[in-house]
Structure 1
Amino acid sequence: MPETLAPAYYTALGRGWRRDVWAILHPPYTAWHLAYVVIGAGLAPKVSGYRLLATLIAFFLAVGIAAHALDELNGRPLRTAIPGWVLKGAALVGLAGAVGLGFAGLPVVGIGLLPFIALGVLFVFAYNLELLGGRMHGDFWFALSWGAFPLLTAYLAQAGTISLGAVAAAAGAFALSFGQRSLSTPARTLRRKALSVTGTVTLSDGSSVTLDEATLLKPLEQALSAFSWGVVAFAVGLIASRLL
């Protein structure tokens, strides 16, 4: 099965630098998690477009580039041909850029941003390289680091503090990200590790449904696709109502 299925629903089989770069960026998931940044900013009492743009760039560099490059370096799950030194360089440049933007924001946001910068670096390395024996590479830590964390950071970047409303919204982002990983984990297993799928489901009317990889993947990946663009649409609507 690994020879006939692409490693993710949003990429293709085969080789080529365009395919590899697209796969590394994980466009639906990167957009999904950047949407939490937009939502966090949109919930703040006052919204600065400049601060929002800086926060989006920082998270794109940290998650879209650095974290995903390290993830590919750790076992080549997307089967890219990108050289290891390129992945390491992308991770270093991406994370350095994100941290640099964070430090540039300290005089504006306040010292409260500093622990968020440190946590961001920890999440990128510990989750994607499965450090600490993989203890931080699981559903809980994924939901915390790529769901709740960007929303809270974006709110802090706007307001300089964290409100109870922001914490409640972050809990919602945590829940959505937890659900995302609950769907994506079996989908990744089917696409990247399963050798074969066989079986049937017998229904109450006596008919049967044959189980194969396509049957099992379809509901998982339809939900992932719908949720990714749905959260993005919600974020766009929220920020548009605040800025326009």
Structure 2
Amino acid sequence: MKVRATGRRRDVRPQPRQSAETVPAHEGKPTEAVVDAAERRPPAVREGARPTFYALRHGGWRDYITLLHPPYTFWHLSYVILGAALSPAVRYDRLAATLLAFFLAVGVAAHALDELNGRPLQTRIPRFALAALGIGGLAGAILIGIAGAVLASPWLLVFVAFGAVIAPAYNLEWFRGRFHSDFWFAIAWGVFPFLTACYASAGRFDPSALVGAVAVFALSLAQRVLSRRVRAVRRQVRSIEGRVVYADGTMEDIGRAWALAADERALLLLACAMPGLSIAALLTRV
């Protein structure tokens, strides 16, 4: 028996399932034309669901806001602030430049390239615009990095070179997708901005930076674990039907909302907590 997802708990006894003889032969079996049309459409469109919990309605300027992945962009930029806060010396001019560079590289370029590679957000932004945002954002970040190498330390060119390669390699899945993994996600979008900001601010690493890098790596992996399941449910799962039976005998119908609620709430809370924690750490250095 199919159960509608209501999210309510109730004290009822499970009803017997219908036998095969009581179910019409055509029920639950769409025609070939319907199946073909559904397969050609992206899963998020087919289900009528948003591709992410923060996605705005499709079209116009809203697509560009969605493209920035605001919660995740702020989350990753918070690693820049945290890296500067944990560095031996805080240089606010260098911190501002590093924040701008990573906003261009991650918030703009990486997300534009990701959308160019398969349209996971299902935006209506033209391909040429996505390519321009990807190339322009990455070029802007590289120029800021080169300026930093000239004005601060030539060793920053190592960070610039890594960023110039990892952004397209991860999002465009170069090298047969070898860099599109949990490990490289944590390195590229967690450890890399953290260590870059730390070195750009002080020109060296202290033990606190290495410990912080390990913590940031773990946080990024946690984000990846939560977001992977959320993406799968929103973009690939056709339907979720069932019932949870609790130890006290009460039951709860489950569906898409039930499967998404806990993970998306955790992601939203972490996306709010990390910027606050990073700013608090920076304020201790004022």
Q: TM-score scaled to structure 2, two decimals?
A: 0.82
Report the AA paired with residue 229 of structure 1.
C
Q: In the alignment, does 2:68 pair up with 1:36?
A: no
Q: Deviations over 1:88-122 (max 9, x none)?
A: 00111100000000000012331221111111112
Measured in 1, the distance between the counterparts of 2:273 and 2:84 equals 18
Aligned twin of 2:236: 193
2:145 and 2:156 in contact (8 A); partners too: yes
Matched, 1:230 2:266: no
Q: Which deviations, in whole Å up to 9, do the C-alpha atoms of 1:43-86 show, x marking residues without a partner?
A: 11221111000000000000000000000000000010000000
Q: Confirm or deny: 8 A CA contact 1:74 1:129 kept in the other structure.
A: yes
Indicate conservation of the 8 Å contact 1:39/1:151, yes or no.
yes
Determine if contact 2:87/2:205 at 8 Å carries over to the other structure: no
1:53 aligns with 2:96: yes
1:205 pairs, out of 233, 248, 258, with: 248
- Structure 1: 4+ residue segments shifted above 4 A: none
Q: Which amino acid aligns with 1:163?
A: D
For 2:204, the equivalent position in structure 1 comes to: 161
Aligned-pair identity in percent equals: 46
Higher mean Cα deviation, 31-40 or 229-238? 229-238
Higher CA-based Rg: 2
Aligned-partner residue type, residue 5 of structure 1:
A
Rounded Cα–Cα distance in structure 1 between residues aligned with 2:150 and 2:207: 24
Is 2:59 the counterpart of 1:23?
no
Number of matched residues?
Answer: 242
Q: CA deviation at 1:133?
A: 1.0
Structure 2 residue aligned with 1:64? 107
- The corresponding residue for 1:83 is 126
| Code of the aligned partner of 1:179 | A
Q: What CA deviation, in whole Å up to 9, does each residue of 1:204-243 have, x standing for no partner?
A: 2222222211001000000000001100100111112223
Stretch of structure 1 that moved more, 77-86 or 133-142: 133-142
Secondary structure class of the residue paired with 1:111: coil
Tell me the TM-score normalised to structure 1 length: 0.96
Structure 1 position 28, deviation (Å): 0.4
Task: Name the CA distance, whole Å, in 2 between partners of 1:204 and 1:109.
Answer: 62
Which residue pairs with 1:10 in the alignment? 54
Q: Are 1:173 and 2:173 counterparts?
A: no
Amino acid at match of 1:86: A
Contact 1:112 1:161 in 2 (8 A): no
2: CA distance, partners of 1:173 / 1:109 = 25
User: Which letter does structure 1 place at the counterpart of 2:224?
Assistant: R
Match of 2:160 in 1: 117
> Whole-Å Cα distance in 2 between the matches of residues 60 and 158 of structure 1?
17
CA–CA distance in structure 2, aligned partners of residues 67 and 141 of structure 1: 14
Aligned CA-pair RMSD: 1.1
* Deviation string, structure 1 residues 169-207 (Cα, Å, up to 9, x no partner): 011111001000100001011111111111222222222
Distance 1:25 1:214 in 2: 24
Match of 1:150 among 170, 175, 193: 193
Q: Structure 2: how far apart are the matches of 1:11 and 1:19?
A: 8
For residue 21 of structure 2, what is the aligned residue in structure 1?
none
Are 2:169 and 1:126 aligned? yes
Q: Which runs of 5+ in 2 are unaligned?
A: 1-42
- Further displaced range: 25-34 or 119-128: 119-128
Alpha-carbon contact 1:109-1:156 (below 8 Å) kept: no
Residue 137 in structure 1 maps to residue 180 in structure 2: yes
Q: d(CA) in 2 for partners of 1:7 and 1:75?
A: 13
